[in-house]
Structure 1
Amino acid sequence: MSKCGKLFGIGVGPGDPELLTLKAVRMINEADVVFTAASAKRNYSLALEIARPHMSETAVIKYLSFIMTKDKKATEKAWDENASRIAAVLRDGKSAAFLTLGDPTTYSTFGYILKSLKKVMPDAEVETVPGITSFHAAAARLNRTLVEGEQSLLITSGAYGGDQLQRVGENVESIVMMKAYKNVKQNNAALKAAGFFEKSVAISKCGREGEEIIPDLNELEKRVPNYWTLVLAAK
């Protein structure tokens, strides 16, 4: 019986091609098959574009589409189907890389793939290769310290209007709010209520063409923020 291949969940960083780790470059180059998440409407992946210069000439690219729906059963079915496609490659004895922006363990599609793969192929060998997150890149771009000493950092999502911030905000000194393109007014209100608004800044497309730093979060309420927008805030 032939040996199964191995899956590498690889974080390719926040967008700047120079922020790929040496290990990520090596694993990308060694992969027989490269998987990447892409829109169901078009086969485009920023993560793939970042990794492409380091891919082997013989590597096969496979796009995985993920449906956008609130139907939990349909969503889980789609994840399982994508995991099954990866499992088929591994059972064929080939190594596979799943590319994800930022870090695979932080608000990443890889987390869902990992759960589904454990169902469809419990014995799959998996290695996660960490990547530089967008908020670390943003803090570095702004020369801004996130936490020091005994301070605490909350990493949360703005997708639901700052609910998490309202629950635990008083117990931390600094905040990273991902997905800050959604519910801008509610998120701003939550930041103000928790005392974080005055020392907040938004940045979109950090390290990429079109990068924008927005020091006044009120400006985000006057337009539709770019999808790649996050907020750094402190008391």
Structure 2
Amino acid sequence: MKGTFYVIGVGPGDPELLTLRAARTLEKCQVWLTPAARKNGESTALAIASGAVSVAGKEILTHHFPMKKVHMGETPDPEVKEAWEQVVALITTELKAGRDVAMPTLGDPAVYSTGFYVCQTLLEQNPQAVVEIVPGISAIGATSAAAGMPLCLGDDQLAVIPAIFESTKIREILIQFDAVVFMKVHKSMDRLVPLLEELDLLDKAVLVERTSMTDQRVRRDLKAAMGEKLHYFSTMIVRKL
């Protein structure tokens, strides 16, 4: 294959948080493969990337990835696996034609990103394919900055987990670690808030919606946020000290 496949972290939302390397890589790639959470829906990653790099002359391919859980060590849902295989077929065609393909992905590719599943599937089918990962600013770091709260200092222990974990496991993690970052909290507030209150951690928690975006909201009254419909891009930091 003559082309290179790049997975590029475009940050949490603000195009100005795109790294210089990410911008340069996007500029040089002829093809952008942009993920969408809904069929025929818009790509947030594309909106961020195009806010920093012109799409003039680019071939924009948008692919739908089903929003379904992937459990490590288990066979993925057939619809999810099919989406990976379909997108790899598109990528392979472009790479064989000698075109570089960039896949912009929200935040950092290393943190709960579909990009790595795509890379794995591509390399399974085409072991000689050239793949590069471009790191980006994560929602975790951006949320810390928005809240004015460090993630960890000194000998602190930090955990980063999806809020969809079962309550018993979340409770254990909150007891064990000095700081916990909860991703995807938009549907879990009714479980999280009572648990934080029970552990006397409610005043140690900060919720940030749409981190770094123009309509970012920093929430410290978590009880007030319980009855609200939160945005999908919502992250919570709980720090004991």
Q: TM-score, normalised by structure 1?
A: 0.91
Task: Tell me if the contact between 1:204 and 1:211 (Cα under 8 Å) persists in the aligned partners.
Answer: yes
Corresponding pairs, count: 233
Q: 1:205 aligns with which of 207, 210, 214?
A: 210
Task: Tell me if the contact between 1:160 and 1:183 (Cα under 8 Å) persists in the aligned partners.
Answer: no
Q: Which amino acid aligns with 2:238?
A: A
User: Equivalent residue of 2:226, what SS?
Assistant: helix
User: Equivalent residue of 1:213, what SS?
Assistant: strand
Which residue in 1 is equivalent to 2:30?
32
CA shift in 2, pair 1:160/1:43, >3 Å: same
User: Equivalent residue of 1:222, what SS?
Assistant: coil
Unaligned runs of 5+ in 2: 70-75
**Offset at residue 160 of structure 1 (A):** 3.4
String of CA shifts for 1:137-168, please: whole Å, max 9, x gaps: 11112221111111111111112354542333
Q: Which amino acid aligns with 1:120?
A: Q
Q: 2:78 aligns with which of 40, 52, 73?
A: 73
Q: 1:98 aligns with which of 90, 100, 103?
A: 103
**Offset at residue 91 of structure 1 (A):** 1.5
Task: Tell me if the contact between 1:161 and 1:186 (Cα under 8 Å) persists in the aligned partners.
Answer: no
CA shift in 2, pair 1:162/1:18, >3 Å: farther
Q: Single out whichever of 60-69 and 172-181 deviates more from structure 2.
A: 60-69
Distance 2:67 2:181 in 1: 25
Q: Which amino acid aligns with 2:59?
A: V
CA shift in 2, pair 1:163/1:220, >3 Å: farther
Unaligned runs of 5+ in 1: none
Q: 2:92 aligns with which of 71, 87, 100?
A: 87
User: Equivalent residue of 2:231, what SS?
Assistant: coil
Which residue in 2 is equivalent to 1:189?
194
1:156-167 to 2 correspondence within 5 Å?
156-162=161-167, 164-167=169-172
How large is the Cα RMSD of the aligned pairs? Answer: 1.9
Q: Single out whichever of 176-185 and 190-199 deviates more from structure 2.
A: 190-199
**Offset at residue 212 of structure 1 (A):** 1.0
Q: Single out whichever of 6-15 and 220-229 deviates more from structure 2.
A: 220-229
Q: Which amino acid aligns with 1:234?
A: R
**Offset at residue 199 of structure 1 (A):** 0.3
CA shift in 2, pair 1:148/1:69, >3 Å: closer
String of CA shifts for 1:8-36, please: whole Å, max 9, x gaps: 11000011111010000000000010011
Which residue in 1 is equivalent to 2:136?
131
User: Equivalent residue of 1:102, what SS?
Assistant: coil
